[in-house]
Structure 1
Amino acid sequence: MPQGDAPRAAAASRARYRRIVRFATGVMLATWWFEVVLPRIGFARVAERGRTARLRRISARFRVLAIDLGGLMIKVGQFLSSRLDVLPPEVTSELEQLQDEVPAVPFAEIKALAESELGVPLHRAYAWFDETPVAAASLGQAHRAQLSDDDESIAGFREVVVKVQRPGIDEVVEVDLAALRTIADRLSRVGFVARRVDVPALVEEFAATSREEIDYLHEGVNAERFGELFSDGVRVAAPTVVWERTTPRVLTLSDVTAIKLNDVDGLRAAGIDPAEVAQTFAEVMFEQLFGAGFFHADPHPGNVFVTPHAPDAAGRTWTLTFIDFGMMGHVPPELRAGLRRIVIAVAARDGKGLVAGIQQIGVLLPSADTTELERALTELFARFGGLGFGELQDVDPREFQAFADEFGEAMRELPVQLPENFLLITRAVSLTSGVCSALDPGFNVWHAVEPFAQRLLREESRGALTDAAKSVFSYAKTIVGLPVRIDQVAARIDRGELAVDTPEIGRRLDRLENLLRLVIAAIVFAAMVVGGALLWGAVPWLAATLVVASVVPLGFALSGLARRSGRRGGRPVHRVRRTTAQR
């Protein structure tokens, strides 16, 4: 950096930091005045009457600020727009208009950074490089290019897209994070905020995600892992990383540009049904979230293409192609178990089960009173549970608003905490839902969830059956061994190695042995019936086989009981006989 530029850069950073903190402080003071002071001095109606307009005005001001500053502020606005649980709709609806599109960096600056990173002139690194960016975002921008002949022979393709970081974005990110930490620290000192959400922890998770997003080597690794897990060439595809032309600030990928996910007219022109795309997109995202536990956390329409192709072996004529793997989420096993429980509860319209799942993943503190939330969710499922997004348009807006307000109040009154990566999960789910409803106004999220929930339920049933079978065989192994032990005891008595004082011991041992055989038959019968019941919805043929075969152990048990009822004999009476040592 030339002498004299450093002081100017430092001054610009300080000015940026102060601008962000000043805006946030003004919002906090305004909120304190209207929501705390005025109600206490008898002007609650005044505060209530102007709340909607005030919130919209503040949100619009922040949107202008974010567009002007760029950097992480746009990411912050996008994140806040998905927080329907803690922010009123007046705020989220305004911030939804915030797109990750900013003015492009002059090509001379992009060229200088790329050449510095790659270590060679741009015309040697690529056979052709388009000076006009395909897209310009807050953290970087993308250009089309062509690989050199040597690189093409290695990669197997020529057309690529090159992502180049915005010059100086590292410093901008650190300044923004410092400002956000200051704001979080101030908010954590406000009682009603601290009781409901751990703001500093939220900022730290956001910071970790942001740092990963500006490391293009990390994004390249994510792209390869995503391709290995999900790219089957039938439903899902991913670009190939050109590692020879990739550094922490430059990422070169195969060009997979196609029809944008939300381009309904383009899809129809290509003979592709948007409703089918919506259904497949939802299924693919659910599988990432609740199956593999590794998911694309930023699946907005600019990051997913629909790629037409000739009919493949499965008869499919298009593939979902994901790009931009800077923001990926990981779901730990314990969190995945809770999310699976939530999916099953949603499919079953089970409000109480849904709250239990929310508690299991750790969003609600153990001390939280969830009575009102359970009631709100139960009523929500009862009224809207079977409706698609298109049908919701026919519902009286006042009725829907009443339910939304009730649910929002129930959530905002509860003490919440955010498990690791949970923010990314909520973002992915909200984006998926919005994209699918835009593609298909009649999209019904219940129909998308139910098949996946049924699969999860089958997996849970198989797990429960396996556990039950292990327990049954463990008990059965012990019980099966008892008759042998009984015979051993009787033999020792016959040899005079044990002293017995009752002539009834033989008959009792005989009865016990037969009774144990009947118990074994009963256990096997019960295990087969229970197993059949668990598998009835998942594997009907196997379930039917188990139920029919259970007749065999049942018949043995019943015939044994019949023999016992008519039986009169027993073992010969074993008289007392002392061993030599006893004499």
Structure 2
Amino acid sequence: MTKWTVRLIQKYIAMRSSRRYSREYHNFSENARSRYRKYVITGITTGGLAAVAIGSSDDKNVVLTASGLVRLVRSMKVGLTISLDYYISMLGQSEDDPNYKSKMSQIHLRCAERLRDACLQNGGTYIKLGQGLVSLSHILPREYVSTLKVLQDKCLCRNNEELYEVFKEDFGKSPEDIFETFDCNPIAAASIAQVFEATTKQGKKVAVKVQYNDLQKRLNGDIMTINLLLKIGTWFHPKVDFTWILNDFEEALKQELDFVNEGRNGERCAKDLSHFNYIHVPRVLWEYTNTRVLVTEFIEGIKISDTAKLKKEGFSLVDINYKLFETFGYQIFQTGFVHADPHPGNVLVRKCNGQTELVILDHGLYQTTTKEERMALSHFWKAIVLANHDNMKTYSKSLGVDDYIMLAEVITQSPLRSTNFKLKQKLNKDEEDYMAKVAGERFDMIVNCLQQMPRSLLLIVRNLNTIRAISYDHGCPIDRYAVLARMATKASFQTHGKGILKKALVYPQKVWFETNLFIIRIVTFWRMLILDVLHKMGLAPDVRAIMKEVAYEFQ
């Protein structure tokens, strides 16, 4: 760490002494020079203090603290490097330069890779934070989203010694003493746990999820570190203030570290969705489960994102997508108890009794929404479909958001300001450019919208964007917006009450609603058909390819 600090000082001195740097540096405004000095001084100070702290004592408790300091300094180093990379690489660059976007993309990519590698090195809490950043795709450049996605599936495996320590501390026995068979080679490794295959004494095949043994011990220290990093980041870049997210992140992580809570969430999910005969939630074996070990029945299936294998095995992508959107739409708009992380690794597809069944895994993180929030969101979606701006404004206000247009765009990932807004399965090139402009130039407006909306809606947006991305992997086989719109607005039509007369009064509204959805579908179909023909004639870009890329940027 001391060597790194020395190299930073040497690099800074070399740059200051070079003619090119000296000329450009003195042409900067005082604010620009002040910002640069912040980067260097912060890096030097942090490196020095951490080096002193780590070397100050050999006491065991301080060693644990030193481990946290190592993660802190590593994070500071990466953060400083990223800031300097952006600052130095773009010196003298203009947004009017034809190569500007290409240069920015290269910087985004290498900085995203640095961030990914740091999260993997630090592990645990940092990987969860990296996963959370992926859900902020409304804000982050696509290079960050695509690079950090690896954190959803690729996490570091830990040694078997840790595994045995957890079982010894929690059960006073080894895995082999508890189970008939236990394979110590993990079949999956996530950010907070590894999953193993085992067989009970009764011969039942089970999945055993075992938490990394140091996570709960290091949680508070890592949260303090991340809080410090966010505050320093805000000092450098006032518009990039994510400190408001930290409390939600800490609470969510505490939920996920309690495997008893995860088991209960799974049981509630199974109960809520019991009327869907195509949904299965693995049963929890409570006699083997505690806070750090979760044992469930073992389920084999195909990852929902493995499109090639699903097709090879004869599954209908239309059927899968309809069930996927109906299931999570029901959670979001009807029960209010929502799986907050339905990424492809958490949804399996299998055949059961001749029909396609979705298996929902990993119930550690759920979001609960109030009835009032669900009703407001239901009316808001209905107003979007009917292009009723007055109602959109009213229900956006009830959700705490002043800019109803931005809220509609964040939730639906479709432009509202540039067009007479319609829900669309895909966007044209002008609309795609508009969304990119929103993400770039009106960054602060998006952040402001996210800050104003109820905390519960943040994970709802993440849920919606994640299942949309799965649909894009499948080639958008269904009109997913129509499915979600019907599920979202079901509650708003129910508010008119019961009885034959009230049903008769609401029937024309339902007809008009369905008519709007039908018109949107027809217009979208013909628009895409014409664009496909023009593309084959060389007169238009490949809009479908563009929109697939945009989907991954905003998922």
TM-score of the pair, normalised by structure 1: 0.68
Q: Are 1:404 and 2:436 matched, yes or no?
A: yes
1:170 matched residue in structure 2: 216
Q: 1:440 aligns with which of 475, 479, 482?
A: 475
- Paired residue for 1:427, among 432, 456, 462? 462
Q: Render the CA deviation track for 1:270-310: whole Å, top value 9, x for unaligned.
A: 43202210111011011111110001111111111113112
Residue equivalent to 2:292: 249
Contact 2:239 2:444 in 1 (8 A): no
Q: Give the Cα–Cα distance (whole angstroms) in 2 for the partners of residues 60 and 191 of structure 1.
A: 20
Deviation by residue 1:18-74 (Cα, 9 ceiling, x = unmatched): 212333344456667789xx69xx977689664333223221211122222221222
AA of the residue aligned to 1:54:
I
AA at the equivalent of 1:169: L
Say if 1:388 and 1:442, in contact at 8 Å, map to a contact too. Answer: no
Does the alignment pair 1:303 with 2:340? no
Instruction: Give the drift of 1:250.
Output: 0.7
> Aligned partners of 2:397 and 2:302: how far apart in 1?
40
Distance change in 2, residues 1:68/1:443 (3 Å): farther
The 2-side partners of 1:386 and 1:419 are apart by: 23
Structure 1 spans left out of the alignment, 5+ residues: 153-157, 312-316, 467-526, 541-583
Residue in structure 2 matched with residue 554 of structure 1 by the alignment: none
SS at 1:451 equivalent = helix
* Contact 1:289-1:425 at 8 Å conserved across structures: yes
CA RMSD, Structure 1 to Structure 2 (Å): 3.4
| One-letter amino acid matched to 1:24 | G
Residue 334 (structure 1) aligned with residue 372 (structure 2): yes
Identical-pair percentage? 22
Q: Give the alignment of 1:126-525 within 5 angstroms.
A: 126-149=179-202, 158-189=204-235, 192-193=238-239, 199-232=242-275, 234-311=277-354, 317-350=355-388, 353-354=391-392, 356-362=394-400, 364=401, 366=402, 377-379=415-417, 382=420, 385=422, 387-389=424-426, 392=427, 395-396=428-429, 400-406=432-438, 409-410=441-442, 412-413=444-445, 415-416=448-449, 417=451, 418-462=453-497
2:455 partner SS: coil
Once residues 164 and 452 of structure 1 are traced to their aligned partners in structure 2, the CA distance between those partners, rounded to angstroms, is 37
**Aligned counterpart, 1:555:** none
Q: Distance in 2 between matches of 1:188 and 1:247?
A: 39
Question: Where does 1:101-112 land on structure 2 (aligned, <5 Å)?
Answer: 101-112=154-165
List per-residue Cα deviations over 1:299-345 (Å, max 9, x = no partner): 1111111131124xxxxx12211111111111123322232233323
The change in CA–CA distance for 1:173 and 1:380 in structure 2 (over 3 A counts) is farther
Alpha-carbon contact 1:349-1:378 (below 8 Å) kept: no
Distance 1:331 1:288 in 2: 10
Q: Name structure 2 gaps, 5 residues minimum.
A: 1-57, 513-555
Q: Is contact 1:160-1:255 (8 Å) kept?
A: yes
Instruction: Check whether the contact 1:345–1:351 (CA below 8 A) recurs between aligned residues.
Output: yes
Whichever residue aligns with residue 122 of structure 1, its letter is P
The alpha-carbon deviation at position 432 of structure 1 amounts to 0.8
Q: Structure 1 residues 342 and 192, CA, compared in 2 at 3 Å: closer, same or farther?
A: farther
TM-aligned CA distance change 1:460 to 1:373, over 3 Å: closer
Which secondary structure does the structure 1 equivalent of 2:140 belong to?
Answer: coil
Any idea what SS the aligned residue of 1:223 has?
helix
* One-letter amino acid matched to 2:382: I
Distance 1:461 1:31 in 2: 55
Larger relative contact order, structure 1 or 2 (CA cutoff 8 Å, min sep 6): 2
- Tell me the CA shift for residue 163 of structure 1: 0.5
Aligned match of 1:572 = none
Counterpart for residue 23 of structure 1: 78
Distance 1:120 1:371, change over 3 A: closer
| 1:490 match | none
- Checking the alignment, whether the CA contact within 8 Å between 1:355 and 1:373 is kept in structure 2 is no
1:213 CA displacement: 0.6
Q: Alpha-carbon deviations, 1:130-153, whole Å to 9, x = none?
A: 11111011211000111113xx7x
Residue in 1 that maps onto 2:46? none
Deviation sequence 1:370-410 (CA, Å, 0-9, x none): 69989x94356647x46434xx5xx44x6522343146544
Say which SS state the counterpart of residue 299 (structure 1) adopts.
coil
C-alpha displacement at 1:216, in angstroms? 0.9
What residue identity is the alignment partner of 1:164?
Answer: V
Q: Does 1:12 align with 2:70?
A: no
Larger Rg: 1
Q: Structure 1 residue 167: deviation in Å?
A: 2.1
* TM-score, length-scaled by structure 2: 0.71
